[in-house]
Amino acid sequence: MKKATKQEIKEIHQLFIDKYSDAVTELKYKNVYELVIAVILSAQCTDKRVNIITPALFEKYPDPKSLALADIDDVKQLINSCSFFNNKAKNIVEMAKKVVEVYGGKIPLNEKELMTLSGVGQKTANVVMIEYTGANLMAVDTHVFRVAHRLGLSDDKTAIGTEATLVKKFKNNLNALHQGMVLFGRYICKAKNPKCDECFLIKYCKTKESFKV
């Protein structure tokens, strides 16, 4: 597959910034505690579904302290329409316990410290930092992975590899680029039946056939 040229990368960067500079996550949250949980739950689950699940969860467990003491079966019950809910319930309760025990009940706003929490990998930590602090970081989910490959920005086999390549090629405005690529992948450059007639990046597209993830 052809790779994007330096000039194309520059133009793609600018077009994303122009269109999505004000973009934010579609996950609903009121504070960083709610954001961390929403991002953990959103793995392999739609933001729409997460937004349906979280109000009752946050009402019952409004802070790390209450969630750390929660009955795991009750948490499972509250999030059971989410994919992998058993595992996620365990993770968010463990996450809350560590926040209480190690960080005095406050979610750490540091990428490396966030990654010490249960259920928080590099992607989740980066998404939280991008969304909550506007950090110049990139996070690669299925949408970003697909868009990066279809535009010839990356031919990496993994999300982490793709992230490193995008950081190197784009360098700045990474937070806006991440949000833009997520929304672009979700609504226009979809896995199946991409809306090529609505695409503002059509001339940079290397393939719409592969990467149906």
User: Among this protein's residues, is 97 annotated catalytic?
Assistant: no
State which H helix or E strand residue 113 sits in: helix 111-114
> What count of residues does the chain have?
213
Task: From the candidates 22, 141, 168, 171, give the one annotated as an active-site residue.
Answer: 141
Specify the residue for token string 């982490």. 160
* Given the residues 2, 123, 192, 208, the one annotated as active site: 123
Block residue for tokens 């979610």: 107
Mark whether 141 is an active-site residue: yes
User: What contacts 89, CB < 8 A, 6 or more positions away?
Assistant: 72, 75, 76, 79
Q: H-type helices in 42-84, by residue range? A: 47-60, 64-68, 72-78
Residues 144, 162: contact at Cβ < 8 Å? yes
Catalytic residues: 123, 141
